[in-house]
Chain A
């Protein structure tokens, strides 16, 4: 056993104790956090320049739908 093995084994043992329910919550939180971040971006960064954007050109909405589907998938599977 080398120091690399000891470090790896210590990490592995620590991570083995993390409950899978917590991991699932972490995955979902990552997706939700990302959706919130995009929702908070300035409007100019998520719509085309110039004329008033149509609803279909609102990237915040499409991002929310995309990440929403992901949240459902990671909650169910």
Chain B
């Protein structure tokens, strides 16, 4: 399937990479303090944050994975970008993110310590740090593998080159470099995927030709399996064979995972914390939500085009690459490769910067040097970035040795374990005055234990040993783990909070959602960034 690239293709990729480096280094020359490095000096405009939100969310593996899921299961995978994101982004814009911004924090765990105490800060920071650090390696490896399949590039070379490029501008420019390079990367990513969509649709004789052909393929399969036609539907029945029944989409994705991601994911929220005003924070999230309407069309629909053109592929994840190699002419392949690299780099750089922020703020500054100067925080942030990148490269090669063990799916499930309980703690902290520190900590751990227990009991080796049936009837039921983790955490938080002494009104000032006049900035018991 490997497609040869022409000189024109390589020129386009080179232009993109040079553009990214120039922007990153240009931004980095003005960097002087830790606040510049972690929060871009709180100077970011809404449009840059908005592009960065979308670019961070869509990784290189997502382009391939969403296209593959659309090929295998249909357009229902688009729910992840539509109802799974947009309502959560709108609520985050007007309710939650402005509270974080006004509190002047650098990380979500830092906010949780102010609202509760250090236990929940450490617990959540540890979960996010482990996940992010490992995910950097997984993203690097999975994308390098895809570049090997697509263009015949050696995996180790791809990992090292991508890591080096991202490392240079992340280390020198911090969050500002990440966000402004994300703007370029988002535009390139959308352009590249749009090209695949347009050329692929034209190849099938337009939209009506695509729909007719998908229905033909589906009908042929449905007739054989006795299944309903599902590829062009967003809402699937409870007993669907796909991992996207409406119950999982509504209860797991829309009500738990989506809000947990857009309100509580440090890599996502951090760029909003760097916005120059509260209005810019809200505008960025709304702008991001508006752009999200487009994403499934340019990422999932190519999976349907691949289904229409190549219905007999053995691996769903090869749908997008196969389409690219058959539909795109010379020059356009270079644009797609640039788009793929853009998607990859925009996610890796964000996770890298946010993981470095967690290390510096939530561990180094919190536990070792509370009085660290702004300059020393900048130095530690840069060292942490380099070390995390080194870890990411090492983990990428480690994952390469584990291929075939389902390591990628395991790490995606890992995020579902703690996002439900984390959302419960955040929501209670922001909306319920009576939520207490002990209640939050015990609730988080209980939710985590529930998610892990359900995952464990649903493993074939375990339930066979116990002579049970599987707990869930759909494949990959991670949406349900998050629901039950969330429900457990909410119940435990409610009960334990009522059994423990309430927090003082002074402590809560400025940290709770108020529908009336806002608590002015600075009224919250904030500590200076450098304190």
Spell out A's residues near B (CB within 8 Å): 1-2, 4-5, 8, 12, 15-16, 18, 20, 23-24, 26-27, 30-31, 34, 38, 41, 45-49, 57, 59, 62-63, 65-67, 69-70, 73-74, 77
Contact = CB atoms under 8 A, between A and B. Distances in A.
A77 B244 CA distance: 15
Contacts of B83: 27, 30-31, 70, 74
A62 B239 contact: no
B470 to A, nearest CB: 9
Contacts of B473: 12
Q: Which 9 A-B pairs have the closest CB atoms?
A: A48-B279, A77-B234, A66-B290, A69-B293, A66-B289, A23-B246, A16-B238, A62-B286, A15-B238
Contacts of B93: 59, 63
A59 B234 CA distance: 28
Interface stretch (B2-10, B84-92, B410-418, B493-501): B84-92
A15 to B, nearest CB: 5
B519 interface: no
A67 B473 CA distance: 33
Interface residues of B, number: 36
Given A48-B277, A77-B75, A23 B235 contact: yes
Contacts of A18: 238
B307 to A, nearest CB: 16
A34 B232 contact: no
B94 interface: yes
A5 B468 contact: yes
Contacts of A30: 83, 87, 254
Contact of B234 (A12, A49, A73): A73
Nearest to B249: A27
Contacts of B246: 20, 23
B282 interface: yes
B238 A62 contact: no
Nearest to A23: B246
Given A57-B283, A59-B93, A73-B234, 18 more contacts: A2-B468, A5-B469, A8-B471, A8-B472, A12-B238, A12-B473, A26-B250, A31-B83, A38-B90, A47-B279, A62-B290, A63-B286, A63-B289, A70-B83, A73-B293, A74-B82, A74-B234, A77-B233
Nearest to B255: A30
A27 B235 contact: yes
B86 A67 contact: yes
Contacts of A62: 283, 286-287, 290
A25 to B, nearest CB: 10
Contacts of A67: 86-87, 90
Interface centre among A26, A31, A34, A70 (most CB of B within 10 A): A70
Contacts of B206: none
B471 A73 contact: no
Contact of B235 (A24, A31, A48, A65): A24
A27 to B, nearest CB: 6
B237 interface: yes
A14 B282 CA distance: 39
A63 B235 contact: no
A66 to B, nearest CB: 5
Contact of A77 (B232, B237, B279, B471): B232
